[in-house]
């Protein structure tokens, strides 16, 4: 009787049975049985016939769904945990995979055969279930809401080829905007279009290596490291997110050195300039390109067109990543162009750019210094150029990768 009362209480607030009166709900509950599964066991598997639905009593489960582009999403649940109710009557393929994430999970299970028997014997029950399911469909309870840093990469048959094509195309956009920003920081203007594409014979292969490194390392870690097996899974996810950026910092340094023409040092020495702030920049860039783009893409469910949704996610992630990396990018670029100066001197250069504007607006002399330092953080030099470069790069890279992944 205790189990029956527990099942009744759970089902009464579950979406599928919410519109049923108590007498009819008991008819359904009488056909349920208690089921206990251990940690890691798959209760339902995406694509397989749905022969049972499950009502979670105790424990924690995770629902994941692999989309058509091969990317795995975690599905957010609202209300009581009821799995497979929409697919039970006709034993349709399961919408998602349900896995027990706690030590054990306790369910009340209802088979398709028993449920259909109840519906056939009691038409009033069928009507109330139809009303409940209609409301469930309208509310759209299966919205992707994967937590940040838990995103999974898209599955590709030829990942190196896809990443290389995307990086090769994007390298020209990146070079043009990056050179424009470098000239802006140096107080110069481009004298010709060709000046925006220096050393492209070096930049293109390095950029291809760079993007393959970010995407490839992410894919490798996702396939071989399960954060839930470690004592601190969240710290593991953070480490997995920052690792590609740390590894790609030397490659990024070579790319920046090939892009900068103000420093006459040979390439083998020039690439070492500005490494510490560049490392931080690459970590933020990597998280933005990989996890943050997918995170924001999921947050635009109202955009039905997949290409536009991908673009919106990349744009939002690009704005965030570009803004957060502005100051460190300026510092490492200035160090690369003028290695004889210290980071402190470069930062003072950035702050002094604000002195004339503050003085002309009547700011007291004692406030000019502190306010210019704040503005160097809040509104760094080249803000629009840098943001445009990151946004464009994210849209081009993620857009091409998504398009090619759907065509495979």
The DSSP code sequence of 258-290 is HH--S--S-HHHHTTTTHHHHHHHHHHHHHIII
Q: How far apart are CA 10 and CA 180, in angstroms?
A: 61
Q: Check residue 137 and give its pLDDT.
A: 64
What is the Cβ-side half-sphere exposure of residue 9, based on CA atoms within 13 angstroms? 7
Question: Parallel, antiparallel, or unpaired: how do β-strands 104-111 and 52-58 relate?
Answer: antiparallel
Q: Check residue 142 and give its pLDDT.
A: 45
Q: How many helices (H) and strands (E) does the chain have?
A: 16, 8
Helix (H) or strand (E) holding 130: helix 123-139
Q: How far apart are CA 279 and CA 101, in angstroms?
A: 35
Backbone angles phi, psi at 148, to 5 degrees: -60, 140
Q: Does domain 159-407 have CATH number 1.50.40?
A: yes
| Ranges of the chain whose pLDDT falls below 70 | 1, 76-80, 135-144, 406-408
CB 296 within 8 A of CB 308: no
CB 36 within 8 A of CB 151: no
Residue 391 three-state SS: helix
Q: Name 215's Cβ contacts closer than 8 Å, sequence gap at least 6.
A: 153, 159, 163, 290, 401
Q: How far apart are CA 295 and CA 307, in angstroms?
A: 15
Which strand ranges, in their side-by-side order, compose the sheet holding 42-44?
A: 42-44, 97-100, 61-66, 72-74
Whole-angstrom CA distances from 219 to 92, 211, 216, 236, 394 are: 31, 12, 5, 15, 18
CB 63 within 8 A of CB 96: yes
Q: Check residue 125 and give its pLDDT.
A: 86
CB 216 within 8 A of CB 161: no
Superfamily, domain 2-139: Jelly Rolls (2.60.120.10)
Q: Name 27's Cβ contacts closer than 8 Å, sequence gap at least 6.
A: 118, 122, 125
Residue for token pair 């933020």: 284
Assign residue 249 a region (left: φ > 0; alpha: ψ between -120 and 50; beta: otherwise).
alpha
What is the Cβ-side half-sphere exposure of residue 382, based on CA atoms within 13 angstroms? 28
The secondary structure of residue 32, as a DSSP letter, is -
Nearest to 329 by CA among 397, 258, 252, 405: 252
Q: Name 363's Cβ contacts closer than 8 Å, sequence gap at least 6.
A: 371
Question: pTM for the complete prediction?
Answer: 0.70
Nearest to 316 by CA among 299, 304, 303, 331: 299
Token pair of 391 as six digits: 């946004």
Q: Check residue 79 and give its pLDDT.
A: 43
CB 390 within 8 A of CB 302: no
Nearest to 42 by CA among 115, 108, 94: 94
Extents of the domains making up the chain? 2-139, 159-407
CB 260 within 8 A of CB 275: no
């Amino acid at each position: 009787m205790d189990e029956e009362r527990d099942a009744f209480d759970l089902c009464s607030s579950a979406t599928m049975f919410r519109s049923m009166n108590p007498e009819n709900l008991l008819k359904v509950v009488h056909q349920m049985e208690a089921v206990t599964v251990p940690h890691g066991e798959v209760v339902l598997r995406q694509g397989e016939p749905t022969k049972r639905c499950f009502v979670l009593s105790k424990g924690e489960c995770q629902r994941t769904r692999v989309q058509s582009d091969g990317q795995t999403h975690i599905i957010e649940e609202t209300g009581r945990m009821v799995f497979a109710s929409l697919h039970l009557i006709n034993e349709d393929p399961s919408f998602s995979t349900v896995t027990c994430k706690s030590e054990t999970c306790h369910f009340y299970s209802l088979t398709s055969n028993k449920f259909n028997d109840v519906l056939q014997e009691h038409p009033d029950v069928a009507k109330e279930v139809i009303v409940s399911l209609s409301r469930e469909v309208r509310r759209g309870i299966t919205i992707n809401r994967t937590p940040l840093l838990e995103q999974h990469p898209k599955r590709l048959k030829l990942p190196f080829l896809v990443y290389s094509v995307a990086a090769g195309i994007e390298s020209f956009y990146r070079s043009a905007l990056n050179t424009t920003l470098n000239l802006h920081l140096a107080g110069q203007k481009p004298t010709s279009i060709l000046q925006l594409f220096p050393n492209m014979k070096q930049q293109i292969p390095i950029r291809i290596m760079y993007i393959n490194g970010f995407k490839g390392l992410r894919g490798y870690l996702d396939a071989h490291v399960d954060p839930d097996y470690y004592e601190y899974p969240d710290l593991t996810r953070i480490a997995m997110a920052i690792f590609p950026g740390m590894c790609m910092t030397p490659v990024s340094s070579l790319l920046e050195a090939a892009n900068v023409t103000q420093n006459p040092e040979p390439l083998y020495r020039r690439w070492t300039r500005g490494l510490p702030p560049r490392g931080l920049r690459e970590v933020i860039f990597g998280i933005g390109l990989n996890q943050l783009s997918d995170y924001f893409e999921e947050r635009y469910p109202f955009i039905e067109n997949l290409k536009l949704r991908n673009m919106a996610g990349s744009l939002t992630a690009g704005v965030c990543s570009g803004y957060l990396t502005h100051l460190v990018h300026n510092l490492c670029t200035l160090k690369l162009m003028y290695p004889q100066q210290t980071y402190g001197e470069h930062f003072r250069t950035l702050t002094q750019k604000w002195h004339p504007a503050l003085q002309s607006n009547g700011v007291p002399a004692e406030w000019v210094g502190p306010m210019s330092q704040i503005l160097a953080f809040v509104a760094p030099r080249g803000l629009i150029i840098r943001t445009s470069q990151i946004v464009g790069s994210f849209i081009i890279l993620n857009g091409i990768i998504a398009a090619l992944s759907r065509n495979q």
